[in-house]
Amino acid sequence: MLPSIRCRRTNLIRRPCLSARLSTSSVLLANRAIVYSSFGNPSEVLSAITYPDLPPPPSKSLNVKYILSPINPADLNVIENKYHSKPSPVSSLSEGRHKFPEPHYVGGNEGLAEVTEVGPDVTHYKVGDRVVLTKQQSGTWASARTLHEDDVLKIPVGLSEVNPPTAYNMLHSFVEPKEGDLVMQNGANSAVGQAVIQIAARKGIRTLNFVRNRPDIDSLKNYLQSLGATHVFTYDDLKDKETVQNIKTTITKKGTSLMLNCVSGEPTKDMTRLLADSATLVSYGAMSKQPLILPTSLFIFRDLRCRGFWQSKWYEEHSIQQREELMKTLAELKLREPEYEILNLKGTASDEEVAQQVRSVIAKIQEGRYGRKVLLRFEPAQ
């Protein structure tokens, strides 16, 4: 979860241009972004680039400074060119004040930002408002950006989580479980998974949760149970016939009618054995990078229904009033923040040092056992 924090203003420092290709005069390079010019392995293709302070925003637009920007699995899929939504390259991040030698893509899709300046004809936002992004691939791995007012959503004071909307909507948009019902999910230790556990527990809904095995699995199980998880198993348990039979007879009994999937691949297929007839499987990710292949018999004899959910699509289909009502509802739930690690990108570091710092962390994330959500925080470049 993105924590609520206060960011103090820092005086911008004049620094020389990075290269004669960029400018022959001194420019104010106060901002920094994590970018890439071609698709590929994120731990190899990412670089950092500095750019000047933003000019005043145009009509219907806002200048924002990013407080925290998460590194999500989907962000890495985008960089690998393995995601449905594609980013648009930019030649400048400061409205023409400073052009890059070649177009770049800016990484990141989610972020918590603060409005620093509003353009003409903006009536719904003011300086100091905190916002999250509703437009796909807005490029949030940056210290500051100019955004159209339609691409952001104001959030209540105290709410800074980007992922709970996904968790909340999946529990309310398909098969709405009632008190005492059982919901099954994989990726239960993800930010979405932890939100699902908490939202379900508040409603008296039981959860059957699956995670990858790891050396500290008992610690993870205890943590998820402290959030309200009813049962926690590993994907390895699904290979043990006795364990599966025990789950069927003592936990699911008649099976579960709603399953949430962000992993896909073989573990997800194994989990479908625990579903009730006419159950709904909702997919919102594929962290295993494997396809979801299911037996035809599940559809013919068990009447399995498969659906997909994409929070960005939900934003497109709902009004600003409905979006803000959702955020208000989430704020009232006061969900506990998942464990996170803030990667502080120091302003005194060079672009290459910052890029190496980000690439190193992403390489560990790609190994699949990092254990915590990583949030980027940019210091003003010096």
Q: Which helix (H) or strand (E) holds 269?
A: helix 265-271
Catalytic residue among 36, 51, 66, 83: 83
Q: In the chain, what's the furthest Cα-to-Cα distance?
A: 74
Q: How far apart are the C-alpha atoms of 261 and 283, rounded to whole Å?
A: 5
Q: What is the pairing mode between strands 152-154 and 182-186?
A: unpaired
| DSSP string of 134-196, one letter each residue | -STT---SBSEEEEEGGGEEE--TT---SSHHHHHHHHHSSS---TT-EEEEESTTSHHHHHH
Instruction: State the number of CA atoms in the 13 A half-sphere of 318 facing the CB.
Output: 18
Cβ-based neighbours of 241, under 8 Å, separated by 6 or more? none
Instruction: State how far the Cα of 18 lies from the Cα of 27, in Å rounded to an integer.
Output: 9
For residue 125, indicate whether it is catalytic. Answer: no
Closest CA to 365 of 63, 60, 146, 73: 73
Residues that are catalytic: 83
